Amino acid sequence: MDAKAKGKKAGAADDIGRETRLELYRLQVELRHCEKRAHDLFLQNLVKGTSHLSLGQEAIAAAFGVAMRPDDWTFCTYRGHAHTLARGASMSGVLGELMGRECGLLGGKGGSMHLTDVSKGAMGSYAIIGAHLPVAAGAAWSAQYRGTEQVAVCFFGDGTTNIGAFHEALNFAAVWKLPVVYVCENNLYMEYTPIASVTAVEKPAADRAAAYGLESVVVDGNDADEVYRTAVKYMERARKGGGPALIEAVTYRHSGHSRADPAKYRPEGELEKWLERDPLKIYRARLLKLGVAEATLKDIEDESMRKVDEATAIAKASPPPALEAIEKNVWADGGAAWRN
């Protein structure tokens, strides 16, 4: 791959206020605690289906969560607990859905791979690779059409850059100058296969930006500040009619691909190296360096743990969904009738 395509570091100058920084920390901690809880619940056999954790990737969801306007839209993947929570969706709703309970965001009908909270602009988690990229473009079209200055943000993984829908969506969004920000979380692997072994370029998203007339943007996905600055920059541009962006955030997932995966395919030492670069560790150290008191951080952490415990209790107490749900909500009339 040639050097020119390697992308440039985005955003660096502008400062981020203390309140924003605390919010970024709070959110990252909350996502971390909640994901860990999801894992515990799985070990207790309370999470029934699959689940795909964002442990290690929290900085990205958190930074966008803080940067987005409440009426902006998020589109994410099966690995979407963090992105959904980052928009303010109910934590008991998320955990309840993982556990297949009535209190789940989807009443137990969608499962962990389809978390959605329309009231918070979390417009769905999509479990078939690539599909939500065109959908996000469509939402952006609707904002553009109605002149609302809303932005659609669409998260996906490195592996997703090799599927056809990626290509179609990027070209479509670019030609129509749609207010959509595409965020590739490059965590180095598709399921169990290293992305480098199945991709013709080094940076699966950024090295393809030029194919859609877009800038090549690579950010450190484990640095919430860097992601935040980049998010603000490209979302504002999109909001003002400047068209789409494609951001590649380099990161790493600490756990396996899904609950079934012990991640034995990783080369020795790789995880350890990335644990050094744990986004929470980085961010905590930075805050301390910036003069935030240890006690402030501790409060945030404790408060977050309380929230997770509370959500867990609610979810555990929630009954399984009533069987009548099966034939509900196929249609807008609430039912499932295909005949008279």
Ligand X SMILES: Cc1ncc(C[n+]2csc(CCOP(=O)(O)OP(=O)(O)O)c2C)c(N)n1
Packing angle, helices 132-146 and 164-175, rounded to 10: 10
Give yes or no for residue 111 binding other proteins (CB under 8 A).
Answer: yes
Give yes or no for residue 53 binding other proteins (CB under 8 A).
Answer: no
Q: Compute the half-sphere exposure of residue 303: CA atoms within 13 Å on the CB side of its CA.
A: 11
The secondary structure element, H or E, covering residue 217 is strand 217-220
CB of 152 to ligand X, least distance (A): 18
Give yes or no for residue 118 binding a second copy (CB under 8 A).
Answer: no
Q: Which of 7, 124, 130, 157 binds Mg ion (CB under 5 A)?
A: 157
CB of 48 to Mg ion, least distance (A): 24
The secondary structure element, H or E, covering residue 325 is none
Q: What does 219 bind: Mg ion, ligand X, other proteins, none (CB cut-off 5 to 8 Å by kind)? A: none
The secondary structure element, H or E, covering residue 73 is strand 73-77
Give yes or no for residue 210 binding a second copy (CB under 8 A).
Answer: yes
Q: Which stretch binds ligand X (CB under 6 A): 11-19, 30-38, 189-197, 236-244?
A: 189-197
Q: How far is CA 222 from CA 15, 31, 75, 225, 319, in A?
A: 18, 14, 20, 9, 38
Give yes or no for residue 207 binding a second copy (CB under 8 A).
Answer: yes
Strand partners, 182: 154, 246
Cβ within 8 Å of residue 257, ≥6 positions away: 52, 189, 191, 192, 263
- Using alpha carbons, select from 200, 202, 206, 143 the residue that is nearest to residue 173: 143
Q: In the complex with a second copy, which residue's Cβ is closer, 210 or 292? A: 210
Give yes or no for residue 321 binding ligand X (CB under 6 A).
Answer: no
Query: In the window 170-189, what residues touch a second copy (CB under 8 A)?
Result: 170-171, 174-175
Q: What does 135 bind: a second copy, other proteins, ligand X, none (CB cut-off 5 to 8 Å by kind)? A: other proteins
Task: Spell out, one character per residue from 117 to 156, where the chain touches ligand X: x when CB under 6 A holds, - when not.
Answer: ----------xxx--------------------------x
Q: What would the two tokens of residue 14 be?
A: 């502008």
Give yes or no for residue 83 binding ligand X (CB under 6 A).
Answer: no
Q: What would the two tokens of residue 8 be?
A: 């440039």
Q: Which DSSP symbol is given to 189?
A: B
Interacting residues with ligand X (CB under 6 A): 79, 127-129, 156-160, 187, 189-191, 257
